[in-house]
């Protein structure tokens, strides 16, 4: 029973909320996300005994598969996980079903309703359904309409819709999409997913801020001089060129994931831990945020695109050489920008946000840099005193570190910076669940806390509207700076901070 | 938040009319005026409130009688302990206190509002039906049946039209037994029914058997009643396959959590394979909680029980670990000056691990209500010491019950299911 892998005293201590009997319907079940993320997340929930015994997963796509074919495909995709626990898979696989459905064909959706009723009888799922739209964004509106027209969203307590990112392409399209989905169901039935919010460490930002008294008093413009939010990837565009060409880093990462990290870092404390209270505060802070120079966004934003790189033995192709990418593409694979938040807490504090593909390291982090001590009493080993920094590491090596000055050993009074570290791994020794595990469970529990509300999504798009318009209307004003693969992005991004006398953190 | 009364004055009905009345109240024709009946759950509460009834009758406590565990009630209980010359370590609502106040003279009366006070923690969950069985101290009192519809106020999360109702069955023992006949039709099969036995586990066994049948989810408190009987009821119910929730087990959570936290860092986990001794101190004479903790640890670490004996306030047991090494467990009741309202709360625990090669580890956890000097003594200086303070839970029983109901679990927690039979065996 005692193993070094798990803490035997920890087992069963988390009192998870109970998911009500239900059927999860995934549209786009033949797609990548279903077998890479969704079904593995559900299998994980099953293994953790967090799915009710009355549960069914109905995969829907246009392909004319049968239940058995779908089960076979999923088994193939999850083979390494299944090998770890074949008995659990044998039980789980019986809960998987498949129905060929084209959401554009009303007769298909009507047939789907019939199949769901059969599943209700077969699996006792009590007409309780979560519909997951893992389809092309072009079909979000029509998909919702089709479900609504078929009466499948009629009961707000027993039906909900999960919508993947991107929710719209800009402020106008997000507004239009919100209007459509809100005519199909109530806001509390709509779950706009951002898998970053499912990450333990993103949620930990809230716990760190609001469960401790030491941080909140200094979490403001009086003590913090700047904030950096980074999400860097080492991989290139891989097989997503088709999608990426039309989105770019700004739409793919900044408008959703980085903006959510910004909102959680900068929001005011909610009055209670309640979905609406939290989402109100997030929406408020996003409404107060703006680009540092909205009239001339090129002064506060840098776009880049990765070029070739790597080594002689392991050469890396540049973005324009990737399969499926236009040879003269101007899609950005890197973006860095400076934002301000006009409220009492953050007035004048710059928020620097950057993301990119093929950068030097894969990581996501939030770095809060504190103001320098008003008087420098000591000689600093590094030449000048280092500002205190609180680094919240989202991934990998999840945790936090606090950098502060201490006396350097020796007879003098020289100061030097050291890092005080907290690592999830060292403290808990248990891997965190994937974001989708948490978010799928929350959606099925009808808990919208970690999902974005209509006004949040719109505020996030509005924040970047000047940039999007500039890229659309006069892209030459925001040129693409090439950068070598596996470096920290273009020199222009360094210059953006250098103008403020700062440097990007080199983690 | 203070408890809230039903908005409507309860209607007194002849018992046989209650099911029909409620059926009509929630019929589709009536729903327009009263709102929709919530499709949530029914909660049936055994609410004797003996201490409160006797304290009110003897003039030691002002009414009304609500069945809630208020600070006034606890203070009156403590006062009664002094007056009756009971040991100061007696919990304020203990059976001994009730016996003492039952002997007191007095015939003061107060309004009996049991079942009509709805704790906000419970009403926030929008129960469809709250049925309270309220036995009176006068055994010959006839049966009164009260009914009221209830809709949550907007600040409670109302504003929706999901409503519920409360039913109170009040009377002497015989009258309540007669009233049982109307219970079945009042508990619709379409939603789960929870039974909260908010009284001694060794009282009214027949009634308990009748209301807490296996298909219903049971909530008990193994700290209320004679310890052997408490653990025996818990064991029987768990082994019968009924969904059982124990408030005493729920209150153990902070001890289990704190102990687990000590061993979260992977480099400390190996020590758990080398435990040689476990000592637990509990308040007063009720060892149930301490035994549940010992049983949980034994189960999680795969120990096998060899022998156990209890003499007075001391239980000693010998286990062996999976590697065959003996583990000694010692549980002791210690007197405290200001005992917790819940009998037998853990005061401290000590876990000693002695790896064959390497430094031993000693974990000492103390309740924040007092010190645990006894456990800190005994030549532990050569061990790697980890000490921590465990916060005492101050939640009211209603809040604990609401937490259970909100969790919605329809089966016994597997850890409790494993620990309860072992705890009963330890007490032998």
Calculate how close chain A gets to B80, using CA atoms only, in Å: 39
CA gap B379, A460 in Å, rounded = 62
Residue B309's H or E segment, with its range, is: strand B304-311
Please check whether residues A256 and A395 belong to one and the same domain. Answer: yes
The confidence score (pLDDT) of residue B153 equals: 58
Position B358 scores a pLDDT of 80
Assess A121–B contact: CB distance below 8 Å, yes or no: no
Which residues of A does the annotation mark as catalytic?
257
- Same domain for A124 and A236? no
Provide the CATH number for the domain around residue A40: 3.40.50.720
Q: Cβ separation of B260 and A1 shorter than 8 Å? A: no
State whether ipTM is beyond 0.90. Answer: no
In a domain, A125, yes or no: yes
Ordered by start, the domain boundaries in chain B are 50-102, 253-390
Mean pLDDT by 10 residues, chain A (507 residues): 65 76 95 94 91 92 96 96 94 96 92 94 90 93 94 91 93 96 93 90 92 94 98 92 91 95 96 91 97 95 95 92 94 97 97 97 96 86 84 90 90 88 85 87 93 95 95 92 95 96 91
Work out how many domains chain A is built from and give that number. Answer: 2
Task: Name the nearest CA neighbour of B198 among B143, B131, B253.
Answer: B131
User: What is the predicted pLDDT for the residue at B421?
Assistant: 96
Taking the CA atoms of residue A37, residue A40, residue A42 and residue A43 in that order, the dihedral angle to the nearest 10 degrees is 180
Q: Out of B257, B302, B409, whose CB is closest to A2?
A: B302
Q: Which of A471, A89, A92 is nearest to A249 (CA)?
A: A471
Query: Domain boundary residue among A105, A139, A164?
Result: A164
Domain boundary, last residue among A164, A180, A210: A164
How far is B297 from B328, CA to CA, in rounded Å? Answer: 12
Q: In B, which residues are within 8 Å of A12 by CB distance?
A: 413-415
Looking at CA atoms only, how far is residue B346 from chain A in angstroms?
Answer: 18
CB B414 within 8 A of CB B297: no
What is the rounded CA–CA span in Å between residue B166 and residue B131? Answer: 6
> DSSP for A145-186?
HHHHHTTTT--TTTEEEEEPSP--SSHHHHHHHHHHHHHHS-
Query: Are residue A344 and residue A393 in the same domain, yes or no?
Result: yes
**Tens-digit pLDDT profile for residues B106-119:** 888 899 999 988 88
Contacts of B217 (CB under 8 A, 6+ apart): B192, B193, B194, B195, B242, B243, B244, B245, B410
Model pTM score: 0.81
Range of the domain at A207: 197-433+453-498
Same domain, A159 and A202: no
Of A120, A145, A164, which residue is a domain's last? A164
Report how far apart, in Å, the C-alpha atoms of A57 and of each of A10, B76, B403 are: 30, 57, 29
Contact B270 A1 (CB under 8 A): no
Distance, CA of A479 to CA of B107 (rounded, Å): 91
Which whole-number Å values give the CA distances from A104 to A10, A33, B332, in the listed order? 48, 21, 71
Q: Is residue A443 part of a domain?
A: no
A439 within domain boundaries: no
Is A175 within the bounds of a domain?
Answer: no
- In angstroms, the CA A475 to CA B138 distance is 88
A223 lies in the same domain as A365: yes
Which CATH number goes with the domain that contains A471? Answer: 3.30.360.10
Q: Is residue A47 part of a domain?
A: yes
CA A406 from centre of chain: 36
How does strand A159-163 pair with strand A129-133?
Answer: parallel
Question: In the structure encoding, which two tokens stand for residue B87, read together?
Answer: 């040991």
| Cβ <8 Å between B260 and A429 | no
User: Could you give the CA distance from residue B74 to residue B339 in angstroms, rounded to a whole number?
Assistant: 11
Residues A277 and A156 occupy one common structural domain? no
Parallel, antiparallel, or unpaired for β A55-61 and A96-100? parallel
Cβ of A18 under 8 Å from any chain B Cβ?
A: yes
Residue with tokens 């703006």: A290
Other C-beta atoms lying within 10 Å of the C-beta of residue A239:
11
Query: Which residue's structure tokens are 């509300």?
Result: A453
Instruction: Please check whether residue B270 touches A, CB under 8 A.
Output: yes
Q: Are residues A373 and A229 in the same domain?
A: yes
User: Is the same domain home to A143 and A276?
Assistant: no
A7 touches chain B (CB under 8 A): yes
In a structure prediction context, what are the per-residue pLDDT tens digits for chain B, which is 428 residues long?
Answer: 444 555 567 888 888 888 888 888 777 666 555 456 777 889 999 999 999 999 999 999 998 999 998 999 999 999 999 999 999 889 999 999 999 999 998 888 899 999 988 888 888 888 889 999 999 998 889 999 999 887 765 554 444 556 788 999 999 988 998 888 888 888 888 788 999 999 999 998 989 999 998 889 999 999 999 999 999 999 999 999 999 999 999 999 999 999 999 998 888 888 999 999 999 999 988 999 999 999 999 999 999 999 999 998 899 999 999 999 999 999 999 988 888 999 999 999 999 999 887 888 999 999 987 777 778 877 677 888 888 888 877 788 999 999 888 877 778 888 999 999 999 999 97
Spatial separation of the C-alpha atoms in residues A341 and B11, rounded to whole Å = 58
Same domain, A149 and A205: no
Determine the longest span between alpha carbons in chain B, in angstroms: 77
What digits encode the pLDDT tens for the residues A369-400? Answer: 999 988 888 888 777 778 999 999 998 888 99
Tell me, which fold does domain B253-390 have in CATH? Dihydrodipicolinate Reductase; domain 2 (3.30.360)
Nearest CA-CA distance, residue B264 and chain A, Å: 5
CA distance B139 to chain A (A): 42
Residue of chain B whose Cα is closest to the Cα of A13: B257
Alpha-helical (H) ranges within B281-352 are: 288-300
The answer to whether position A217 is within a domain reads yes
Chain Cα centroid distance, residue A46: 23
Three-class DSSP category at B209: helix
The label of the residue with tokens 């996501």 reads A364
Contact at CB, A13 and B260, closer than 8 angstroms: yes
Please give the full DSSP string across B245-288, using - where no structure is assigned.
Answer: EEHHHHHTHHHHHHHHHHT-SGGGGGGGGGEEEEEEEEETT--H
Residue A191 covered by a domain:
no
Whether the CB of B355 is below 8 Å from some CB of chain A: the reply is no
Residue A7 confidence (pLDDT) = 87
């Amino acid at each position: 029973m005692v193993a070094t892998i798990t803490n035997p005293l920890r087992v069963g201590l988390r009192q998870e909320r109970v998911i009500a009997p239900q059927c999860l319907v995934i549209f786009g079940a033949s797609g990548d996300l279903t077998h890479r993320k969704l079904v593995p997340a559900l299998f994980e929930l099953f293994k953790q005994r967090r799915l009710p015994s009355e549960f069914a997963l109905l995969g829907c796509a246009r392909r004319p598969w049968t239940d058995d074919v779908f089960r076979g495909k999923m088994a193939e995709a999850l083979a390494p996980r299944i090998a770890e626990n074949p008995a659990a898979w044998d039980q789980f696989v019986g809960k998987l079903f498949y129905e060929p459905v084209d959401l554009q064909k009303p007769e298909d959706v009507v047939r789907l309703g019939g199949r769901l009723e059969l599943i209700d009888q077969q699996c006792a799922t009590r007409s309780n359904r979560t519909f997951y739209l893992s389809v092309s964004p072009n079909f979000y509106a029509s998909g919702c309409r089709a479900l609504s027209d078929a009466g499948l969203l009629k009961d707000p307590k027993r039906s909900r819709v999960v919508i993947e990112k991107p929710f719209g392409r800009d402020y106008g399209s997000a507004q239009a999409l919100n209007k459509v989905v809100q005519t199909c169901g109530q806001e509390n039935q709509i779950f706009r997913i951002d898998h970053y919010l499912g990450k333990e460490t993103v949620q930990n930002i809230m716990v760190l801020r609001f469960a401790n008294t030491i941080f909140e008093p200094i979490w403001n413009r009086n003590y913090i001089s700047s904030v950096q939010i980074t999400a860097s990837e080492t991989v290139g565009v891989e097989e997503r060129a088709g999608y990426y060409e039309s989105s770019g880093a700004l739409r793919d990462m900044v408008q959703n994931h980085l903006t959510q990290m910004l909102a959680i870092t900068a929001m005011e404390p909610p009055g209670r831990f309640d979905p609406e209270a939290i989402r109100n505060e997030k929406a408020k802070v996003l409404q107060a945020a703006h680009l540092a120079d909205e009239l001339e966004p090129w002064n506060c934003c840098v776009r880049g695109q990765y070029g070739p790189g790597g080594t002689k033995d392991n050469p890396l192709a540049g973005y324009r050489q990737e399969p499926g990418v236009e040879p003269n593409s101007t899609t950005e694979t890197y973006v860095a920008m400076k934002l301000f938040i006009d409220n009492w807490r953050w007035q004048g504090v710059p928020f620097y946000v950057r993301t990119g593909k093929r950068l030097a390291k894969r990581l996501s982090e939030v770095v809060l840099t504190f103001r320098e001590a008003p008087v420098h009493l000591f000689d600093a080993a590094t030449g000048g005193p280092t500002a205190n920094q609180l680094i919240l590491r989202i991934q990998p090596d999840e945790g936090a570190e606090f950098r502060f000055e201490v006396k350097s050993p020796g007879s003098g009074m020289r100061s030097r910076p050291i890092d005080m570290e907290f690592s999830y791994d060292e403290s808990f020794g248990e891997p965190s669940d994937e974001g989708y595990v948490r978010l799928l469970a929350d959606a099925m529990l009808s808990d919208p806390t970690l999902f974005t509300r209509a006004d949040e999504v719109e505020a996030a798009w509005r924040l970047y509207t000047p940039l999007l318009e500039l890229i659309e209307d006069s892209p030459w004003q925001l040129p693409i700076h090439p950068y070598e693969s596996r470096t920290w992005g273009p020199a222009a991004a360094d210059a953006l901070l250098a103008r403020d006398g700062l440097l990007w953190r080199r983690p | 938040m203070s408890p809230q009364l039903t908005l409507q004055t309860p209607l007194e009905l002849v018992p046989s009319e209650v099911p029909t009345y409620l059926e009509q109240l929630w019929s589709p024709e009536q729903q327009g005026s009263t709102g929709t009946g919530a499709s949530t759950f029914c909660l049936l509460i055994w609410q004797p409130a003996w201490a409160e009834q006797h304290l009110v009758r003897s003039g030691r406590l002002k009414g009304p009688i609500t069945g809630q565990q208020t600070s006034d009630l606890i203070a009156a209980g403590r006062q009664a302990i002094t007056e009756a010359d009971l040991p100061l370590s007696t919990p304020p609502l203990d059976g001994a206190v009730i016996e003492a106040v039952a002997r007191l003279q007095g015939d003061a009366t107060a309004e009996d509002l049991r079942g009509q006070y709805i704790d906000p923690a419970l009403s926030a969950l929008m129960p469809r039906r709250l049925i309270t069985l309220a036995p009176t101290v006068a055994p010959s009192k006839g049966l009164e049946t009260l009914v009221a519809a209830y809709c949550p106020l907007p600040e409670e999360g109302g504003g929706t039209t999901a409503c519920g109702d409360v039913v109170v069955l009040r009377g002497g023992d015989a009258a309540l037994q007669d009233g049982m006949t109307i219970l079945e039709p009042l508990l619709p099969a379409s939603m789960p029914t929870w039974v909260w036995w908010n009284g001694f586990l060794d009282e009214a066994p027949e009634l308990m058997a009748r209301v807490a049948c296996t298909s219903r989810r049971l909530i008990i408190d193994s700290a209320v009643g004679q310890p052997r009987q408490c653990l025996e009821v818990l064991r029987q119910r768990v082994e019968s396959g009924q969904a059982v929730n124990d408030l005493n087990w729920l209150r153990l959570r902070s001890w289990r959590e704190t102990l687990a936290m000590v061993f979260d860092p992977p480099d400390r986990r190996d020590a758990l394979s080398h435990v040689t001794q476990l000592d637990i101190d509990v308040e007063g004479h009720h060892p149930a909680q301490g035994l549940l903790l010992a049983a949980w640890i034994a189960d999680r670490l795969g120990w096998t029980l060899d022998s156990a004996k209890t003499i007075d306030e001391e239980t000693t047991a010998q286990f062996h670990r999976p590697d065959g090494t003996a583990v000694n467990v010692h549980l002791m009741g210690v007197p405290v000056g200001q005992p917790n309202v819940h009998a037998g709360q853990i005061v401290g625990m000590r876990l000693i691990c002695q790896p064959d090669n390497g430094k031993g580890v000693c974990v000492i956890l103390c309740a924040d209500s007092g010190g645990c000097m006894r456990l800190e003594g005994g030549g532990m200086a050569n061990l790697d010491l980890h000490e921590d303070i465990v916060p005492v839970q101050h939640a009211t029983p209603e809040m604990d019950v609401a937490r259970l109901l909100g969790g919605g679990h329809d089966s016994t927690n597997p850890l409790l299911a494993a620990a309860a039979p072992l705890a009963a065996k330890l007490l032998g």
